[in-house]
Each structure stands twice: as structure tokens, then as C-alpha cells.
Amino acid sequence: MPTKIEWAEESWNPVTGCTPISEGCQNCYARRMAQRLRGRCGYPADEPFRVTLHKNRLMEPLKWKKPKRIFVCSMGDLFHPDVPAEFVVNVFEVIEAAKQHTFLVLTKRPERIDSILYGEEGRWYLGGGDFLPNVWLGVTAENQEQADERIPILLQIPAAVRFVSVEPMLGPVNLRNIYRPQDGSEWDALKGVDTKHQLHLSCKLGWVICGGESGPGARPMHPDWVRSLRDQCKAAGVPFFFKQWGEWRECMPPDQWNSEGYKIIEAHGTHFVKLGKKAAGRLLDGREWNEYPESKEAAR
């Protein structure tokens, strides 16, 4: 179905539901939406955000003739451990058949990608080779801890495009020095350099998305975090997409908003005003950042 998510045109949810795994899950929009749909549209009445397989939705992309940029499982995580490997394979069989579309698969569990599609237990090779040209694989990294944990795993998986979604952005993220605690080395995720192994330069992130948190309980995002991420991308020639500020915008000086009755808070060494997602907007330094990668930007 059509989506309001700025970087996609359509969403496809053969799997819905998830469980919290890191700090970014605290105010999950998909969980809130599932609660609203309790007992309807395939969401269980007793536990609407329970991981649920929707076999009746598997063939939907084959019915869409016009090429679309499709977000896979916007209401869940395809690689959640409660999703059987066989069902993940079924999803990728449909993706392979629907060559006219570009599929964006975003997960917080990249270790399952390798085990299902490539690893010792894997029964599937994409497109008869290393990767399908119409699949972009991404991970969510809301802070430096999750960037350090998830991005190195992603960078070792063949994909037409690898990307990271820094949303909700809960702290500064440096993609030029991704620390790998398992062996003590560092990655420059934007240039594809491993300080120990000097991997090929094409082994890099091909796209970076950034956005603040919206909805009840949203946490503010410092604009300097966003600018730093954008500047890292610009320096490395990596497309950058700024999705939104979220509920809060920085306000300096804060007293200019007091007479209007807005909520003002102090956080991260500055002040923020609560405007709501629409009013806060998505302009960064006076412009929108809507950059996209080419489909075969990052391969091996």
C-alpha cells in the first residue's frame, strides 16, 4: 500500500510485529499503529504486535506493474528470529520475480541475513549469484553503539546497495570510525576501509538516512549530530537523505517561544521547542536533502 515514509513509495508487509531490541525501539511507531489496528487488517486482537506471517500478502508486488521503491516490512522486521527461514526465502523469491521494483529491506538483526541467505544454513543464493540488483539491504543504527554493532555485519553481506537508517537519531554517530569489538579494528563505513584487512573500497555504505523521533515520548535530536552525519556523507560522496526533525526543533534563544505557550526543554546543551512533526519540518540548513543511490552503487 502507498506509504507516507518519505524515502519509499510503497510498503509491503508480508510480516508484521516485532519485539524491542535496543534503545531506538522505545517509542516504536509500528507498535503504536498495530495497537490502533488491533483485531483488524491481520493484526491479532489479543497481541497486535506479535510477529505474524501474512501469506496472503506475498504476491502483492507482482500485481504492481509500475516500478516502485518498496519498503519491505515497515510494520515489523523480516529477519526477526520468530520468522522462519523458509518464509524469508519465500519473500525473496517474490522479490526476484518482481524485477521492475526496488526493494528496501531494513533490519535490526543483520546477522540473520547471512545465516539464512548465505551462511552454512543458507539454502538461497540471490539471483543465481551474489546479490539481487533490485534489493537494498539496510540496518537501523540509532546511536554509536548500534552503528558499531550492526554496520560491520552489514558490510560483509553482498548487496546492490547497503544503507543505514539513523532514525530515531539519539546521539552523534561517526561512520568514519566504526569500532569492531570482536577484533579491535575499525571501519570507515563510508569509504569501505578496514584498518586491519583493507577491504575493497566498494565494500561500503551506499546510502545514509537520518531522522528525528516523532510521536508520544519523542526525544529531541541535536542539529549538530545531523550536520556531522551529512558532512561525513558529503566528504565521502555518499548520498544523504534527511527525513525529518521529529517532534522537536532547537530554539535559540528559547524565550522567543515562551509567549506562544510552546513546551520548551533543555537537553544536550541547548534548548528545544515542541512543534510537532509537520511544523518542525525536514529542512536542514535551509534545504531538503533527498539524495538516493544508484541501484548498483555498492556490490562486494
The pLDDT tens digits of the residues spanning 116-154 come to: 887 555 545 555 566 788 999 999 999 999 999 999 999
Q: Where are the alpha helices (DSSP H) in 114-219?
A: 144-155
Quote the pLDDT of residue 300: 37
pLDDT of 31 higher than 70: yes
Q: Is the dihedral of CA 76, 78, 82, 84 positive or negative?
A: positive
Quote the pLDDT of residue 292: 97
Name the residue among 158, 120, 167 with its Cα closest to residue 139: 167
* Separation of CA 291 from chain center: 15
Distance CA 16, CA 54 (A): 8
Which uninterrupted H or E stretch holds 90? Answer: helix 85-97
Burial class (CB in 10 A: 0-12, 13-18, 19+), 262: middle
pLDDT tier at 199, thresholds 50, 70, 90: low
Q: Tell me if the bond preceding 133 is cis, omega within 30° of 0.
A: no
Quote the pLDDT of residue 196: 64
Quote the pLDDT of residue 202: 65
Average pLDDT over residues 185-214: 83
Distance CA 51, CA 272 (A): 36
CB 164 within 8 A of CB 24: no
Average pLDDT over the chain, rounded to an integer: 90
Quote the pLDDT of residue 119: 58
Distance CA 248, CA 221 (A): 7
- pTM equals 0.93
Quote the pLDDT of residue 298: 39
pLDDT of 259 higher than 50: yes
